[in-house]
Amino acid sequence: MSKEIFQGPLERVSDCCWRIPKTYKQGMRVDGLIYADEVLIEAIKRDQAPEQVANVAFLPGIQYASLAMPDIHWGYGFCIGGVCATDPDEGGVISPGGVGYDINCGVRLVRSNLFYRDVQPRLRQLVEELFRHIPTGVGKSGRYHFDKKELDRLMAEGPRALLDRDLATPRDLEYTEANGKLEGADPDAVSDQAKLRGESQCGTLGSGNHFLEVQVVDHIFDEQAARVMGLEKDMVCVMIHSGSRGLGYQVCDDALAMLRKAPEKYGISLPDRQLACAPVNSPEGQKYIAAMRAAANFAWCNRQLLMQQTREVFENVFGRPWQQLQMNLVYDVCHNIAKFEEHTFNGKTRKVWVHRKGATRAFPPNHPEIPQMYRQIGQPVLIPGDMGRASWVLVGQEGSMKQTFGTTCHGAGRAMSRTAAVKDVGKRRIDKELEARGVIARAQSRRGLAEEQPDAYKNVDEVVEVVHKANLSRKVARMRPIGVIKG
């Protein structure tokens, strides 16, 4: 994370929003808008992420504003928490930096009919079994192996390709964003190197901020929405956070190499070469989109297999089939993606490419892309926090469509770099500190826990409060962690 203090203008628009006017830099096509309250904006100023918000405003075809959510922090090209929409009919571009290296990194929530009183006596056993059976860590291979033809099918079809192996159900697909499949994915646009990196990683957790967490619903804020989702106070759920692993990383790397000279070729002037991009309708733009969609479908397969392995562990520990434990998918959302969506702004309805980089789709009630069961309440939004505090379930609100192209935050947002977090920990034992809070944590290394210690993150409650007040998404339930496995 950058240590420089942002020196540019930040004008207050409302209690929850701040503007970087497009007059700040010659070449900005739109204003920058950052969603934050007075406390969070002071922390945000201590990082150069607002500068990245201003830089994104240079992109050709950008509409309305360059946006950032309250979990904003420094990223590659775009800040984490960055959102922008580009119109291909106005020369709009696609930028890999607006999606990120971990394409379709996302979160899914699985409910159960178990309550804390049922799980607490077996919690340590449960966490140990999850850690033993679910591959975690950098470059880790999993139990599922797919040959080239099968891997291409995963990238083309998403979890639908797992139905005939009994590793997914039709209901799982229904409650996955986009039904777990982006049309137009082309496995042939994905390099052999990317496929090699992904062939044995589907169904693995990875490292960094990825996790699998056993949680308890500790507070219900919206009884109706919680009831529709099947959530009750003290119920045990599982939250899974992972993405497209080495395959997606390589797709991004390949795209950045391909696009290195594209801005010059198409006469695009950029303030940061990390914003490398190409017109959506160019050959380079179309190739990246096809590969990005394939990586996104692979990521949904990854989370599906992680969920299936989790179900199997619960079966073994609690002695009942997962169907009897009612371990149903509540929802799966992605937060590193670019999607072609219809939005209305400035009095016009048009289709635009919405880049969400560390940001979550938050469609309101009655939107046609929401599963029928959730139409009355809005799309479920899953916001992971940190290992020591809480995560949240929200629902999308109408304000998101009017203000942020149907988008809200994606997590707590880092407050320290990984290096700083490790230095801050020193010789402390984060696993022991978490256990004192009632959380059993397992990781491949002590450093992994140090990098992800609770103090490395903003307070997720404060972040959620901003998007709730701004009417981007509404609070439904707060979840506290009781067990976590990490890479």
C-alpha closest to that of 236 among 484, 479, 485: 479
Contact 141, 206 (CB under 8 A): no
Checking phi first, is residue 230 left (phi over 0); if not, alpha (psi -120 to 50) or beta?
left
Question: d(Cα 448, Cα 471) in Å, to the nearest integer?
Answer: 35
More confident residue, 47 or 324: 324
Structure tokens at 338: 């670019």
The question of whether 410 is a catalytic residue gets the answer yes
Does pLDDT of 1 surpass 70? no
Does pLDDT of 2 surpass 60? no
Global pTM reads 0.96
Question: d(Cα 88, Cα 461) in Å, to the nearest integer?
Answer: 37
**Structural domain boundaries of the chain?**
11-90+104-486
Q: Quick check: helix, strand or coil at residue 315?
A: helix
- Whose tokens are 């159900």? That residue is 169
Burial label, 121 (beta-carbon count in 10 A; 0-12, 13-18, 19+): exposed
pLDDT the model gives residue 218: 96
Banded model confidence at residue 455, pLDDT cuts 50, 70, 90: confident
**For residues 15-42, average pLDDT:** 97
Q: Quick check: helix, strand or coil at residue 260?
A: coil
Q: Quick check: helix, strand or coil at residue 172?
A: helix
Q: Is the dihedral of CA 354, 357, 363, 368 positive or negative?
A: positive
| Measured CA angle at 289 (ends 285, 295), to 5 deg | 145
Q: Is the dihedral of CA 313, 314, 317, 321 positive or negative?
A: negative
Sequence-ordered strand ranges (E) for 15-73: 17-20, 31-35, 65-73
Q: Quick check: helix, strand or coil at residue 383?
A: strand
Contact 403, 470 (CB under 8 A): yes
Q: What percentage of residues in the chain have a pLDDT greater than 70?
A: 99
pLDDT the model gives residue 415: 83
Query: Per-residue pLDDT tens for 392-423?
Result: 999 999 999 999 999 999 999 888 888 888 88
Counts for the chain of helices (H) and strands (E), in that order:
16, 19
- Whose tokens are 């490419």? That residue is 353
Query: Per-residue pLDDT tens for 53-99?
Result: 999 999 999 999 999 999 999 999 999 999 999 999 999 999 999 99
- Whose tokens are 């079809």? That residue is 157
Structure tokens at 88: 């291909």
Query: Per-residue pLDDT tens for 264-314?
Result: 999 999 999 999 999 999 999 999 999 999 999 999 999 999 999 999 999
Average pLDDT, the chain: 95
Does pLDDT of 140 surpass 90? no
In this structure, the dihedral spanned by the alpha carbons of residues 53, 70, 304 and 238, taken in order and rounded to 10 degrees, is 160
pLDDT the model gives residue 353: 98
Query: Per-residue pLDDT tens for 325-380?
Result: 999 999 999 999 999 999 998 888 999 999 999 999 999 999 999 999 999 999 99
Query: Per-residue pLDDT tens for 8-17?
Result: 999 999 999 9
Structure tokens at 334: 């992605």
Buried-state track 389-425, b at ≥16 Cβ within 10 A, e below 16: bbbbbbbbbbbbbebbbbbbbbbbbbbbbbebbbeeb
65 alpha carbon, distance to own chain's centre: 21
Q: Quick check: helix, strand or coil at residue 180?
A: helix
In the set 335, 355, 410, 468, the catalytic residue is: 410
Q: Quick check: helix, strand or coil at residue 313?
A: helix
Q: Quick check: helix, strand or coil at residue 405?
A: coil
Question: Which fold does the domain 11-90+104-486 belong to in CATH?
Answer: tRNA-splicing ligase RtcB (3.90.1860)
pLDDT the model gives residue 208: 83
